[in-house]
C-alpha cells in the first residue's frame, strides 16, 4: 500500500481520490486556502459538496495549514490546483516536498513568453525547482477525463507523462483500476501541450451551439454539422501547434483530440462558448457564470499571443490559425462571433 497525498480539493483533484483509494492506497486530501469549506464538508459528510457519490471509506482530510503533516511519509503527491494556482503550487507547495517523492499534476495549461515560446506548467515549475536546487520528479496527467465521470467509474483512458519511465510505471501501479486506464509517455511537452491547446478550441466548437440556439431557439435540437466542422478545424490547428512545439506525434494529437471531444460535451468551457454564441460579450458571459473558473480563456489568449509573435518572427503563419485568432478577438477585442467558415476550406 502506498500513501497518496492530493493537494487541492477541487473537483479533479478530489475525483482522483477514488481510483487512488480504491486501489488500496492510503489517501490524504489537502485543501488549498480556497478549499476550506470543501474540506470541512468532506470531513463531516464523507462527500465532496459537488459530487453525488461518497468518497471511498478511509479517506483522510487536511486543511492547508496541515499540509506538511499530510506530505510526511507520502509516496506520491498529486497536484490538484487549477491553472490559477500554478504560482502558488510552485512557490508554496513544491519547496515543501522532499526530493524522493514524485509529483503528479492535473493542472492543464500553457505559459507564453515575450519571445513567443509556449511553456508547459511542468517546465515552469522545473525552473523554480532548479533555482532551489531541488531534484523533485515532475509528472503530469493528460487526456479526456471529466471529474464527475471519473467519480461515476465511467471507463476512462488518460496519459501520465514524465521524464523517467520507471517513475511513471510506479505511479501507474498506484493509480490504475479496472475503470481508470493509463498510458505512459516521456514526451511531457507533447502530452501537456496537447491537453492545454484543446481548451480554446473547445470554446470555439461551443460557439456553434450558441449560434444555433440564437437562430432556432434555446430548446431547438442540436446541429452537428457545424460542430463537426469546427472540430475538424480545431484538430488541424492543434496539429500545427504541436508541430511548433516539436511534439507533433499521432499519440499526442489523439490525446488532445480526445480531450477536446469530452470538453465540448460538458463543463465550463462549453457554457461560456454557448453564451458567446448566443450573442453575449465576454464580460456578460463572465457575469452570467460568476464564480466559475474559466481556464480556457487564459489558454486561448496566451496561445494566440504566441502565434502572433511567431508570425512577426516568420516562424508561423496567421492564415494557418483562423479559428484560434477569431476566438482570441472575441475574448480580447470583444468582437461579435462571426465564424470565418471559408477560411477553413482548402484546395489540394
- Active site residues per annotation: 198
- Nearest 5°: CA angle at 143, between 121 and 87? 20
Residue 31: which residues within 8 A CB-CB, separation 6 or more?
A: 8, 9, 38, 39, 61, 62, 63, 64
Please give the distance of CA 4 from its chain centroid, rounded to a whole number: 21
CA 99, CA 107: separation in Å to the nearest integer? 20
CA atoms within 13 A on the CB side of 309: 14
Nearest to 108 by CA among 51, 65, 146, 59: 146
Q: Give first-to-last CA distance, the chain, whole Å.
A: 57
Do 106 and 11 touch, CB atoms closer than 8 A?
no
User: Which strands, in side-by-side order, build the sheet including 60-62?
Assistant: 60-62, 26-30, 3-7, 76-79, 103-105, 138-142, 156-162, 180-185
Residue 252's Cβ-count burial label (10 Å; 0-12, 13-18, 19+) is: buried
Q: How many CB atoms lie within 10 A of CB 143?
A: 22
Residue 277 near residue 337, CB atoms below 8 Å: yes
Amino acid at each position: 500500500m502506498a500513501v497518496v497525498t492530493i493537494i487541492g480539493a477541487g473537483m479533479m483533484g478530489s475525483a482522483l481520490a477514488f481510483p487512488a483509494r480504491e486501489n488500496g492506497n492510503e489517501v490524504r486530501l489537502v485543501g488549498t486556502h480556497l478549499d476550506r469549506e470543501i474540506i470541512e464538508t468532506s470531513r463531516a459528510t464523507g462527500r465532496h459538496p459537488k459530487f453525488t457519490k461518497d468518497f471511498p471509506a478511509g479517506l483522510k482530510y487536511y486543511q492547508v495549514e496541515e499540509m506538511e503533516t499530510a506530505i510526511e511519509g507520502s509516496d506520491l503527491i498529486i497536484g490538484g490546483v487549477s491553472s490559477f494556482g500554478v504560482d502558488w503550487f510552485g512557490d508554496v507547495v513544491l519547496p515543501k516536498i522532499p526530493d524522493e517523492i514524485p509529483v503528479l499534476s492535473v493542472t492543464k495549461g500553457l505559459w507564453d513568453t515575450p519571445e513567443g515560446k509556449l511553456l508547459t506548467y511542468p517546465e515552469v515549475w522545473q525552473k523554480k525547482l532548479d533555482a532551489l536546487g531541488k531534484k523533485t520528479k515532475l509528472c503530469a496527467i493528460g487526456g479526456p477525463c471529466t471529474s464527475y465521470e471519473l467519480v461515476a467509474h465511467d471507463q476512462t483512458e488518460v496519459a501520465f507523462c514524465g521524464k523517467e519511465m520507471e517513475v511513471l510505471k510506479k505511479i501507474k501501479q498506484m493509480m490504475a483500476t479496472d475503470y481508470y486506464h493509463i498510458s505512459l509517455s516521456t514526451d511531457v511537452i507533447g502530452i501537456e501541450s496537447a491537453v492545454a491547446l484543446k481548451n480554446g478550441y473547445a470554446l470555439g466548437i461551443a460557439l456553434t451551439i450558441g449560434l444555433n440556439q440564437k437562430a432556432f431557439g434555446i430548446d431547438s435540437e442540436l446541429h452537428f454539422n457545424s460542430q463537426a466542422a469546427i472540430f475538424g478545424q480545431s484538430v488541424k490547428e492543434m496539429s500545427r501547434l504541436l508541430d511548433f512545439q516539436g511534439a507533433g506525434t499521432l499519440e499526442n494529437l489523439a490525446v488532445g483530440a480526445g480531450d477536446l471531444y469530452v470538453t465540448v460535451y460538458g463543463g465550463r468551457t462549453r457554457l461560456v462558448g454557448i453564451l458567446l454564441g448566443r450573442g453575449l460579450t465576454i464580460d456578460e458571459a463572465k457575469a452570467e457564470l460568476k464564480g466559475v473558473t474559466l481556464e480556457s480563456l487564459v489558454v486561448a489568449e496566451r496561445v494566440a499571443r504566441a502565434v502572433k509573435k511567431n508570425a512577426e518572427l516568420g516562424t508561423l503563419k496567421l492564415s494557418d490559425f483562423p479559428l484560434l485568432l477569431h476566438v482570441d478577438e472575441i475574448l480580447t477585442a470583444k468582437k461579435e462571433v462571426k465564424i470565418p467558415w471559408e477560411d477553413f476550406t482548402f484546395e489540394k
